């Protein structure tokens, strides 16, 4: 298929994956927001899946960065979802009140299923219960 002289293809996708990793300093956040804005503009993505699995010891700088990135994404008509977020990062986001603001990527989120126990939950069995 020919686009004709002077024509250029337009690349539009609904999702794009963006790898974020350490080190991350507070001074890096404005540049990351600019990069995210350009990524959304260039790709036309509606969802940017931020792979944050390389943050072994996330801190509040990471939380601040994710909140600002979500704000930047929304200003550009998109949103970010997190992939491979550690339990520590999820806890920090919840502590900061951002658990619902920066959601986990749907397919990559690990939720407790009906047949599995939550971490740290032990089942107590009654020895007199015959159904066991």
Query: Which stretches of the chain are DSSP H helices?
Result: 29-43, 60-75, 87-95
Residue-wise pLDDT tens digits, 69-93: 999 999 999 999 999 999 999 999 9
Structure tokens, 71? 């704000």
Residue spans per domain, the chain: 15-95
Q: Per-residue pLDDT tens for 116-126?
A: 444 444 444 45
**pTM tops 0.85, yes or no:** no
What's the CA gap between 33 and 31, in Å, rounded? Answer: 5
- Specify whether domain 15-95 bears CATH 3.30.450.70: no
Q: Give phi and psi for 70, each to the nearest 5.
A: -65, -40
């Amino acid at each position: 298929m020919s686009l004709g002289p002077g024509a250029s293809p337009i690349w539009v996708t609904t999702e794009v994956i963006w790898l974020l990793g350490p080190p991350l300093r507070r001074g890096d956040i404005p540049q990351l927001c600019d990069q995210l804005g350009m990524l959304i503009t260039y790709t036309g993505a509606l969802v940017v899946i931020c792979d944050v699995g390389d943050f072994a010891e996330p801190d509040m700088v990471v939380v601040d960065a994710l909140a600002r990135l979500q704000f930047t994404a929304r200003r550009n008509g998109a949103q970010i979802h997190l992939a491979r977020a550690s339990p520590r990062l999820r806890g920090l986001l919840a502590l900061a009140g951002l658990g619902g603001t920066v959601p986990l990527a749907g397919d990559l989120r690990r939720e407790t299923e009906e047949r599995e126990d939550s971490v740290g939950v032990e089942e107590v069995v009654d020895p007199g219960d015959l159904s066991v």
